[in-house]
């Protein structure tokens, strides 16, 4: 690009308005597929090339390493290579590490990637023996508290105020929180939240530090502003120091992380905080066909949010979205696999197809169905590409070969090296072997791309290292399997949204109107991932031959062309069974008063005859369900309910419903699995 006008060429009127608003405050409300990254990178480049700002005074902040890397890459191409584009944590850690010796002294603390090892030690100090899933849930609860600036001493009251459902009692979380913080300080460690907190504190307490940072950074851009949490907002305000040269970009329709402490109010209230702000809306959708866009608009409009954006499709017409119901989950997975095969036969690459679901527990049946159909797949949200063993091994070998490289053709040299770690001319049948092969194939394809541009082996290794640092994986051939949360920010030619039943979307533990609407936005995010082909499906029962009692997601009412099933006027968060008469102990006939005894159907002191192996199987099943749904185990069933199930070993739905604490909602969600476990005991 040779001139300032070149930077502005090719932008639509709204994108150009963003690019020309070179000084803040500016709020960009950017819908899905509207080119927000293009708009903000051209804005930064225009500001730099026009002389409005110096490149080194710009700090562009985003949420992922990959997004930051993409910003830097685009800015280099636009002639603004000196701009800093980083995540909140990377920017804060860089500043904290630089100033630590001067204002605090000694070595800067070490960063912990995961809270779980420290939490495990805290548990040992408190003589607790939690499983790993509980540790993960407690770690998530600590992250919420820390980003909301809630200390351990205030956690119990705050959890009650915010209707949190911690994995253990709030008092126990508070004790673990205190022990975690004590160990962390003693070991000179910082977690991601502490990095932000300490950076803001150092700037507040040391004015010379604040002055130097504010002298360096005068011009701020924050992407995905709807996902900012209170701690990030605190740091951002500290960086600004009362100035308002800031541009924020976000989409209120894609607010799906409120459970982590993120708040859309900073985006929706930006014009109130900055009354002189320019507010620009990007609504021209260049990603999806009109048919996909119309469905997305209908889904989000039914939520009634005053902040929603209505998209305007810019692409030609495409096929209408498909709505499909199946008798059971295996039939749904097999049907999706058949539909994917048809798309492949029409020339749609597997890397341009995705199957998206609400919880990771839904992935397994689709992995099995795709493997059975000999369709390659990649599970997103698991191991990162550059952390896979085969990729790490290949990079080590390539790095060693680059040091002694003597000029052999890049592509053939890479193929030779990768053949030694498992790259064969033809792919293996499926499963882990196929996934490993696809990873190596992706490296080989990238080598061919670099070779076509005149690159050599040392340059290729440098490109791999750059991509690894930015988590910019090369495209891997295979259908993507991912949760709706993991799919945010991505797009494919064809998307299958599966398992769309009430109890799954919205998820069963979404109870308040705010939580229900966040589930609606999650469906909206899924719909807007599709460029052209979109299929929405659900299964009427869990297993073949099961009761067809499930209903399509309430968010699809009026959209499928079918009559909607009658629904309650408002969601009932928990079903409560009315007890018409006093409950008596089934052993001694004494009237039961305590709730736990009523649930068990016997006095706590009366003997119980039950299969201990069944109880252990029930607990293992509950742990797996809670882990995949990312909820505390007791949200599935409490210990007392499991004990009651093990004692009575029900074999029918009516017998299961007779147990206190099991209502129609939980019967529909978990009944078949529990009955299968109980029936296996009788057989």
Residue linked to tokens 């929706």: 268
- Residues 80 and 48: beta-carbon distance below 8 Å: yes
Taking the alpha carbons of 331, 333, 337, 342 in that order, is the dihedral positive or negative? positive
> How, if at all, do strands 530-539 and 492-497 pair?
parallel
Quick one: residue 78, left, alpha or beta (phi over 0 = left, psi -120 to 50 = alpha)?
A: alpha
Mean pLDDT to the nearest integer, 400-411: 85
User: In sequence order, which ranges of 346-409 are alpha helices (DSSP H)?
Assistant: 363-372, 389-403
Are 353 and 492 found together in one domain?
A: yes
For residue 572, being part of any structural domain is answered with: no
pLDDT of residue 637: 80
Q: What is the mean pLDDT of residues 150-178?
A: 90
N-term to C-term CA, the chain:
75
The verdict on residue 93 lying in a domain is yes
- Interhelix angle 192-205/88-103, rounded to 10 degrees, is 50
**Contact yes or no for 33/492 (Cβ under 8 A):** no
Query: What is residue 491's DSSP assignment?
Result: -
- Condensed to tens digits (0 to 9), the pLDDT of residues 588-635 reads 555 554 545 555 566 655 656 667 788 888 888 888 887 777 666 767
Report how far apart, in Å, the C-alpha atoms of 477 and of each of 350, 434, 444, 460, 601 are: 6, 10, 12, 20, 55
Residue 294's SS3 state is: helix
- Residue 630's pLDDT is 66
Structure tokens at 569: 């006027």
- Of 121, 160, 168, give the one whose Cα is nearest residue 140: 168
Q: Please indicate, yes or no, whether residues 81 and 225 belong to a single structural domain of this protein.
A: yes
Return all residues near 676 (Cβ < 8 A) that are at least 6 apart.
543
pLDDT digits (tens, 9 = 90+) for 40-87: 999 999 999 888 999 999 999 998 888 888 898 899 888 888 899 999
Between 24-38, 172-186, 296-310, the lowest mean confidence (pLDDT) is in 296-310
Residue 451 confidence (pLDDT):
84
**Which residue segment(s) compose the domain that 117 sits in?**
110-187
Closest CA to 653 of 542, 511, 553: 542
Q: Is the pLDDT of residue 286 over 50?
A: yes
pLDDT of residue 633: 73
Length in residues, the chain: 683
> Do residues 136 and 170 share a domain?
yes
Q: Is 60 annotated as a binding residue?
A: no
Domain boundary among 463, 497, 527: 463
Read off the pLDDT of each residue in 437-450 and give the average, rounded to a whole number: 85
Answer whether 280's CB lies under 8 Å from 11's CB. no
Any domain includes 661 = yes
Does 309 reside within a domain?
no
Are residues 488 and 369 both part of a single domain? yes
Q: Does residue 290 contact residue 33 with C-beta atoms inside 8 Å?
A: no
Q: Does 199 belong to an annotated binding site?
A: no
Residue 310: pLDDT above 60? yes
Does residue 511 sit in the same domain as residue 631? Answer: no
pLDDT for position 576? 31
Three-class SS state of 459: helix
Question: What is the pLDDT, as a whole number, of residue 424?
Answer: 87
Which of 18-22, 464-468, 597-601 has maximum average pLDDT? 18-22
Task: Give the span between the Cα atoms of 38 and 470, in whole angstroms.
Answer: 19
CB neighbour list of residue 346: distance below 8 Å, 6 or more residues apart: none
- Which of 125, 154, 187 is where one domain is finished? 187
Whether 560 has a binding-site annotation, put simply, is no
Counting beta carbons within 10 angstroms of the beta carbon of residue 212, is it exposed (0 to 12), middle (13 to 18) or buried (19 or more)? middle
CB 661, CB 636: distance < 8 Å: no
- CA pair distance 483, 558, nearest whole angstrom: 25
Statement to judge: residues 85 and 122 lie in one domain? no
For residue 368, being part of any structural domain is answered with: yes
Which tokens belong to 505? 């979307």
Give the 3-state DSSP-derived string for 253-287, with helices as H, strands as E and coil as C: HHCCCHHHCCCCHHHHCHHHHCCCCEEEEECEECC
Tell whether 157 is covered by a domain. yes
Residues 326 and 217 in one domain: no
Which of 648, 649, 647, 640 lies closest to 676, judged by CA? 649
Distance in angstroms (rounded) separating the CA atoms of residues 354 and 489: 13
What SS3 class is residue 564?
Answer: coil
389 and 330 co-located in one domain = no
Residue 606 counted as domain residue? yes
Among 52, 56, 59, 12, residue whose Cα is nearest residue 36? 12
Classify residue 605 as exposed, middle or buried by CB count within 10 Å of its CB (0-12, 13-18, 19+).
exposed
In a domain, 451, yes or no: yes
The CATH number of the domain where 249 resides is what? 3.40.50.300
User: How many domains does the chain divide into?
Assistant: 5
The answer to whether 32 is a known ligand-binding residue is: yes
Claim to verify: residue 357 and residue 496 sit in the same structural domain: yes
Q: Residues 91, 219: one domain?
A: yes
Letter string b/e over residues 4-25, b meaning 16 or more CB atoms within 10 A of that residue's CB: eeebbeebbebbbbbbbbbebb
- Is 115 a known ligand-binding residue? no
Residue 194 labeled ligand binder? no
363 in the same domain as 226: no
The domain boundary residue, chosen from 187, 208, 230 = 187
CB 649 within 8 A of CB 614: yes
* DSSP string across 33-50: TS-HHHHHHHHHHHHHHT
Q: Are residues 244 and 350 in the same domain?
A: no
């Amino acid at each position: 690009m040779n001139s300032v006008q070149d930077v502005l060429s090719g932008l639509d009127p709204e994108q150009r308005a963003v690019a020309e608003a070179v000084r803040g405050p500016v709020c960009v409300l950017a819908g899905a597929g509207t080119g927000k990254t293009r708009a903000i990178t051209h804005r930064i480049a225009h500001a730099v090339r026009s002389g409005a700002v110096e490149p080194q005074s710009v700090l562009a902040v985003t949420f992922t390493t990959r997004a930051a890397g993409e910003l830097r890459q685009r800015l280099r191409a636009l002639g603004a290579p000196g701009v800093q584009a980083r995540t909140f944590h990377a920017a804060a850690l860089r500043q904290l590490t630089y100033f630590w010796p001067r204002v605090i002294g000694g070595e800067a603390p070490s960063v912990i990637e995961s809270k779980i090892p420290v939490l495990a030690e805290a548990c040992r100090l408190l003589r607790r023996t939690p499983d790993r899933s509980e540790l993960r849930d407690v770690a998530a609860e600590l992250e919420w508290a820390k980003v909301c600036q809630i200390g351990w001493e205030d956690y119990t009251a705050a959890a009650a105020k915010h209707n949190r459902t911690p994995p253990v009692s709030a008092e126990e979380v508070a004790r673990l929180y205190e022990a975690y913080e004590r160990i962390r300080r003693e070991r000179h460690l910082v977690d991601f939240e502490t990095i932000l907190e300490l950076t803001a504190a150092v700037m507040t307490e040391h004015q010379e530090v604040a002055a130097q940072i504010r002298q360096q950074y005068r011009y701020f851009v924050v992407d995905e502003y709807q996902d900012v949490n209170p701690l990030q907002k605190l740091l951002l305000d500290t960086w600004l120091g009362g100035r308002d040269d800031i541009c924020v970009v976000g989409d209120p329709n894609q607010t799906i992380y409120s459970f982590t402490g993120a708040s859309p109010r900073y985006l929706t209230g930006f014009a109130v905080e900055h009354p002189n702000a320019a507010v620009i809306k990007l609504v021209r959708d260049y990603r999806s066909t009109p048919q996909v866009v119309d469905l997305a608009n209908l889904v989000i409009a039914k939520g009634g949010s005053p902040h929603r954006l209505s998209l305007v499709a810019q692409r030609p017409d495409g096929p209408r979205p498909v709505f499909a119901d199946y008798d059971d989950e295996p039939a749904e997975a097999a049907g999706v696999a058949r539909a994917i095969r048809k798309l492949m036969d029409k020339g749609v690459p597997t890397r341009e197809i995705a199957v998206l679901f609400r919880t990771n527990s839904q992935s397994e049946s689709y992995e099995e169905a795709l493997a059975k159909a000999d369709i390659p797949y990649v599970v997103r949200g698991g191991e990162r590409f550059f952390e896979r063993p085969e990729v790490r091994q290949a990079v080590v070998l390539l790095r060693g070969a680059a040091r002694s490289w003597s000029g052999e053709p890049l592509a053939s040299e890479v193929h030779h090296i990768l053949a030694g770690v498992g790259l064969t001319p033809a792919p293996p049948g499926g499963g882990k072997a196929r996934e490993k092969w696809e990873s190596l194939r992706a490296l080989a394809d990238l080598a061919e791309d670099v070779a076509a541009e005149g690159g050599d082996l040392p340059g290729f290794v440098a490109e791999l290292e750059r991509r690894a640092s930015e988590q910019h994986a090369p495209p891997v051939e295979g259908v993507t399997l991912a949760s709706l949360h993991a799919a945010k920010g991505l797009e494919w030619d064809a998307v299958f949204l599966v398992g769309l039943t009430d109890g799954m979307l919205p998820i069963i533990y979404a109870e308040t109107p705010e939580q229900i609407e966040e589930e609606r936005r999650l469906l909206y995010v899924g719909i807007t991932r599709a460029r052209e082909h979109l299929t929405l499906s659900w299964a009427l029962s869990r297993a073949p031959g099961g009761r067809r009692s499930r209903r399509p997601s309430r968010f699809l009412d009026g959209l499928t062309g079918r009559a909607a099933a009658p629904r309650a006027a408002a969601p009932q968060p928990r079903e409560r069974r009315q007890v018409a008469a006093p409950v008596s102990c089934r052993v001694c006939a004494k009237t039961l008063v305590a709730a736990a005894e009523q649930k068990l159907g016997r006095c706590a002191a009366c003997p119980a005859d039950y299969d201990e192996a069944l109880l252990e199987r029930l607990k293992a099943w509950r742990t797996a369900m809670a882990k995949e749904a990312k909820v505390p185990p007791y949200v599935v069933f409490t210990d007392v309910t499991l004990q009651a199930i093990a004692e009575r070993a029900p074999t029918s739905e009516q017998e299961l419903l007779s147990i206190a604490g099991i209502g129609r909602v939980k019967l529909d969600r978990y009944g078949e699995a529990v009955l299968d476990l109980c029936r296996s005991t009788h057989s």
